[in-house]
Amino acid sequence: MIHRQPHKKYLSVSLATALLTAGAFAVISACSDQQAKAKPVLVHKEAPKAGVVAKIGSEEITEEQLIGDGQVDFFEIKKREYELKMERLNKMMVDKLVGAEAKKAGMSTDDFISKKVVGGEVKVTDKMFKEFVKEKRIPDGQVTPQIKERINAYIQGTKKQELVQAYVAKLTKGQPVEVYFKKPKMDMKVEAGDSPSFGSKDAAIQVIEFSDFQCPFCARGADLVHELKKRYGKKMHFSFKQFPLPMHKEARPASEAALCVNEQSSDKFFAFHDLIFKSQDKLDTASLEGYAKKVGANLDKFKECISSKRQAANVQKDLDYGEKLGVRSTPTFFVNGQLVSGAVPIEQIAEIIEDEKQ
């Protein structure tokens, strides 16, 4: 039988508990505040000379020392700041330039864009939809009616944005927009070493990729590399470094297997590399042996290499080097020392290459 306490007594117990809790919280808060106030004493002053950012005791600290191995993190912040500024500038160009054209036509900017620039509702064809699904490697089983609706909306939005950008490009052709903030650059010295590679080592375009054989975005990265090879051919030297992520349990064995194939031939390595990225759901031992056989590798030598685990140290060497450089995700590319994160459109890398020529 449950005995109910009188209502007043229940209130008093609750109130006491609340007060005790509040009191305890106040004590904790007070202790935390006391600790928070115990900070190093800093004095902000003009730098005594260029490149010096701080002084600890009698030692002057340079910006290079301060950034240390956090170069990639600092660059990503600068890059994001630049991208945000460009987004804002693009919006202002639409507001001011397209807005001026809309005013001449006696229309609101939105109506002008909809009727004159876009020309009504953007139609998403079956071909456009299938190309998107193929490019993004979305399995057929995952394309539900809701997902299809979202994809169509995304394609419509992208096409509309492209039409608006094309119109702005036309408006600025005779009178370019002047930009007074610079795009950040990060020139890192990244060594290709003896990693699997193709192309001339003296080529003008040097691309080094850190990748994970089980990462779906890296499969798109492999497609990007093929596009770069088609576009730049002998002008490009490409190197592949292993960066298997901890959450991908089959990535490290696949990396070791790939380097075992590389012992026999770099051409066989890249053929093996392509097969893995096309069959990421089958990276067990038997499948890896099958891929090695398919690319023409000597199976006895391949199996001996796998069982000896001698390529494990080289995989770890790539991982350690990538972490030292600041690689945080896959795929990560270094294009002539410039960092590119992710399987980006080829135009983004082409822009870096064109900038290098200037």
Per-residue pLDDT reduced to its tens digit, 196-251: 999 999 999 999 999 999 999 999 999 999 999 999 999 999 999 999 999 999 99
* Assigned domain for 322 exists: yes
* Assigned domain for 177 exists: no
The rounded percent of the chain whose pLDDT value lies above 90 is: 76
* Assigned domain for 292 exists: yes
For residue 301, pLDDT over 90 is answered with yes
pLDDT for the residue 188 = 86
DSSP letters, 125-192, are -HHHHHHHHHHTT--GGG--HHHHHHHHHHHHHHHHHHHHHHHHHHHHSSSPPP--SPPP--------
Is there a single domain that holds both residue 317 and residue 216?
yes
* Assigned domain for 178 exists: no
The region of weakest confidence among 11-25, 184-198, 244-258, 329-343 is 11-25
pLDDT digit string, tens, across residues 91-144: 999 999 999 999 999 999 999 999 999 998 889 999 999 999 888 878 888 889
Is there a single domain that holds both residue 219 and residue 350?
yes
Total domains in the chain come to: 2
pLDDT for the residue 139 = 85
Average pLDDT of the residues in 154-159: 94
Domain boundary among 137, 172, 207: 172
The region of weakest confidence among 36-45, 80-89, 276-285, 307-316 is 36-45
Q: Collapsing DSSP states into helix, strand and coil, what is residue 60?
A: strand
Token duo for residue 245: 């992520």
pLDDT for the residue 4 = 38
Average pLDDT, the chain: 89
Is there a single domain that holds both residue 210 and residue 325?
yes
Is there a single domain that holds both residue 310 and residue 203?
yes
**Backbone torsion region of residue 196, taken as left when φ is above 0, otherwise alpha when ψ lies between -120 and 50, otherwise beta:** beta
* Assigned domain for 306 exists: yes
pLDDT for the residue 257 = 98
pLDDT-derived band of residue 12, with 50, 70 and 90 as boundaries? very low
pLDDT digit string, tens, across residues 167-188: 999 999 999 999 999 988 887 8
Which of 269, 169, 171, 167 has its CA nearest to residue 211?
Answer: 269
Is there a single domain that holds both residue 204 and residue 153?
no
The region of weakest confidence among 25-34, 69-78, 329-338 is 25-34
Is there a single domain that holds both residue 297 and residue 162?
no
Is there a single domain that holds both residue 263 and residue 206?
yes
Dihedral angle at the C-alpha atoms of 311, 316, 317, 320, nearest 10 degrees?
170
> Would you say 132 and 57 are in contact if contact means Cβ atoms under 8 Å apart?
no
Is there a single domain that holds both residue 263 and residue 340?
yes
Which of 307, 289, 309, 308 has its CA nearest to residue 299?
Answer: 289
* Assigned domain for 17 exists: no
Is there a single domain that holds both residue 307 and residue 203?
yes
Average pLDDT of the residues in 314-343: 94
For residue 17, pLDDT over 60 is answered with no
Cα 133 to Cα 193: distance, rounded to the nearest angstrom: 37
CATH of the domain at 203: 3.40.30.10
* Assigned domain for 305 exists: yes
Give the rounded distance of the alpha carbon of 357 from its chain centre. Answer: 24
Q: Which amino acid is at 59?
A: E
pLDDT digit string, tens, across residues 35-76: 567 889 999 999 999 999 999 999 999 998 998 888 888 888
Residue 158 belongs to what domain range? 71-172
Domain boundary among 156, 172, 188: 172
Provide the H-helix boundaries in 173-245: 216-232
Provide the H-helix boundaries in the chain: 7-36, 63-67, 71-93, 99-104, 109-112, 126-135, 145-172, 216-232, 251-262, 266-278, 285-294, 299-308, 312-325, 346-357
What secondary structure letter does DSSP report for 49? S
User: What pTM value is reported for the model?
Assistant: 0.73
Cα 102 to Cα 113: distance, rounded to the nearest angstrom: 8
Cβ neighbors of 95 (< 8 A, separation 6 or more) are 109
Cα 297 to Cα 287: distance, rounded to the nearest angstrom: 14
Token duo for residue 143: 């394309």
> Would you say 206 and 335 are in contact if contact means Cβ atoms under 8 Å apart?
yes
Q: Collapsing DSSP states into helix, strand and coil, what is residue 194?
A: coil
* Assigned domain for 240 exists: yes
Which of 118, 126, 130, 127 has its CA nearest to residue 159?
Answer: 118
Is there a single domain that holds both residue 214 and residue 330?
yes
Is there a single domain that holds both residue 234 and residue 348?
yes
Is there a single domain that holds both residue 124 and residue 217?
no
The rounded percent of the chain whose pLDDT value lies above 70 is: 89
> Would you say 179 and 89 are in contact if contact means Cβ atoms under 8 Å apart?
yes
Q: What is the 3-state secondary structure (H, E, C) of 97-108?
A: HHHHHHHHCCCC
Q: What are phi and psi of 197, to 5 degrees?
A: -150, 165
Average pLDDT of the residues in 164-169: 96
Residues forming beta bridges with residue 334, ordered by sequence position: 208, 339
